[in-house]
């Protein structure tokens, strides 16, 4: 008897993600012919974008944003990390699912939703997707003034984004929410793609251990926090407790497996009333979405009725 072949495990991608299927290369080339300078045969012998080239990656993602999201102007320094659009879009789509789960399966009207993007970066990527996909409003914070100016410029140059984002500088590098969210403000969700490493040297060592070369594009101060991912996330969680009545759902991406195991217990220890873990990931990287709230069932009901209910 022949052994049954195991089916390959497919990458999970959200059903609403515009890039859940392979992109139309010919359509992208027609929109941006410069992409044609960065093609090479893939393992099937088909023409594809050379993802080992950082310039090619940036041009590809610029073109994807233009083609699928209508964002024509997305320029930033080559010293900043270029995010991959499908991965970032998945975070937004899954947070939309969390909102639906809190509202009897109905997505609250986008104009009524305000999202805090902690560490928006020079590319402003999460506000871009959250606005173009769901019409959410954003508070976008960052500790780097130059990155914030870059994000502001992107917002100003794209009509759909203007007047939808409130940019705020985080002046204290150790703080996460303090200094950006005011005590009297309420937000519906908070998102965060935290820094991974304790230092640039640690980032270089870990990258080399994985067998991958590092470049100045891949290792920047954006991914560094004193104490690394775990210290940043614990600080974030402690501060979220101080803003427990200001936000319905806090969330963060968690990359390190040890942290994925430890943080749900830490959240329960500090008093979170509900903790969700959602595994997302494309390519070779698996990431966990950690989502939590401090609101009681009664407080959640009041939030829905006062903030999300559509008047008839």
- Any idea where the domains of the chain sit in the sequence? 80-308
Would the CA dihedral through 212, 218, 13, 45 be positive or negative?
Answer: negative
What is the chain's alpha carbon radius of gyration, rounded to the nearest angstrom? 20
CA dihedral 10→60→77→116, nearest 10 degrees, is -50
Listed residue (28, 140, 128) closest to 83, CA to CA: 128
Q: Is the pLDDT of residue 4 over 50?
A: no
Q: Enumerate helices (H) and strands (E) in the chain, giving the number of each.
A: 9, 9
Three-class secondary structure assignment of 19-66:
CCCCCCHHHHHHHCHHHHHHEEECCCCCEEECCCCHHHHHHHHHHHHH
In this structure, of 105-119, 155-169, 285-299, the range with the lowest mean pLDDT score is 285-299
Residue 69 CB partners (closer than 8 Å, separation 6+): 18, 128, 129, 132, 133
Q: How much is the pLDDT for 43?
A: 85
Listed in sequence order, the DSSP H helices in 102-144 are 125-134
Provide the percentage of residues in the chain whose pLDDT is more than 70.
84
Q: How much is the pLDDT for 7?
A: 43
Six-digit token pair at 215?
Answer: 């470049």
Q: How much is the pLDDT for 223?
A: 61
Contact 147, 122 (CB under 8 A): yes
Beta strands in 129-173 (DSSP E): 137-142, 165-169
φ, ψ at 251 (rounded to 5°): -155, 165
CATH class of 80-308: alpha beta
- Rounded to two decimals, the pTM is 0.89
Average pLDDT over residues 78-90: 92
Contact 191, 126 (CB under 8 A): yes
- 291 - beta bridge partners? 251, 276
Give whole-number Cα distances, 44 to 24, 40, 48, 220, 251, in Å: 16, 11, 10, 34, 39
pLDDT tens digits, 291-309: 999 999 999 999 999 999 8
Q: Count CA atoms within 13 Å of residue 128 on its CB side.
A: 33
Q: How much is the pLDDT for 9?
A: 40
Q: Is the pLDDT of residue 184 over 70?
A: yes
Average pLDDT over residues 221-250: 87
**Coil, strand or helix at 60:** helix
Average pLDDT over residues 148-169: 97
Q: How much is the pLDDT for 45?
A: 85
Residue 200 CA to residue 290 CA, distance in Å, equals 25
Q: Is the pLDDT of residue 50 over 70?
A: yes
Strand order in the sheet with 274-280: 165-169, 137-142, 114-118, 187-192, 247-254, 287-293, 274-280
CA dihedral 132→146→236→239, nearest 10 degrees, is -100
Average pLDDT over residues 162-185: 94
Residue 126 CA to residue 274 CA, distance in Å, equals 24
Q: How much is the pLDDT for 81?
A: 86
- Mean pLDDT over all residues of the chain? 88
**Coil, strand or helix at 208:** helix
């Amino acid at each position: 008897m022949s052994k049954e072949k195991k089916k390959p495990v497919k990458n999970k991608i959200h059903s609403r993600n515009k890039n859940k299927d392979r992109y139309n290369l010919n359509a992208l080339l027609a929109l941006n012919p410069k992409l044609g300078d960065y093609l090479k045969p893939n393992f099937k012998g088909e023409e594809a974008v050379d993802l080992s080239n950082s310039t090619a990656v940036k041009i590809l993602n610029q073109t994807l944003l233009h083609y699928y999201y209508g964002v024509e102007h997305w320029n930033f320094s080559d010293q900043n990390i270029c995010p991959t659009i499908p991965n970032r879009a998945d975070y937004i789509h899954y947070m939309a699912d969390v909102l639906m789960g809190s509202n009897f399966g109905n997505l609250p009207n986008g104009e009524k939703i305000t999202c805090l993007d902690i560490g928006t970066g020079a590319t402003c990527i999460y506000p871009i997707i959250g606005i173009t996909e769901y019409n959410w409003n954003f508070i976008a914070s960052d500790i780097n003034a130059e990155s914030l100016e870059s994000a502001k410029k992107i917002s100003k140059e794209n009509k759909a984004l203007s007047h939808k984002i409130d940019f705020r500088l985080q002046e204290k590098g150790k703080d996460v929410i303090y200094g950006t969210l005011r005590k009297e403000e309420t937000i519906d969700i908070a998102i965060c793609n935290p820094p991974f490493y304790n230092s640039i040297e640690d980032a270089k060592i870990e990258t080399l251990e994985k067998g991958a070369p590092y470049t100045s594009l891949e290792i920047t101060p954006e991914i560094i926090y004193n104490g690394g991912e775990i210290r940043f996330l614990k600080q974030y969680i402690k501060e979220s407790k101080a803003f427990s009545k200001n936000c319905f759902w806090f969330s963060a991406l968690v990359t390190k497996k040890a942290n994925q195991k430890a943080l749900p217990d830490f959240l329960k220890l500090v008093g979170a009333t509900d903790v969700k873990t959602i595994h997302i990931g494309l390519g070779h990287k698996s990431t966990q979405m950690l989502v939590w709230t401090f609101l009681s069932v009664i407080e959640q009901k009041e939030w829905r009725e006062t903030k999300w209910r559509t008047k008839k």
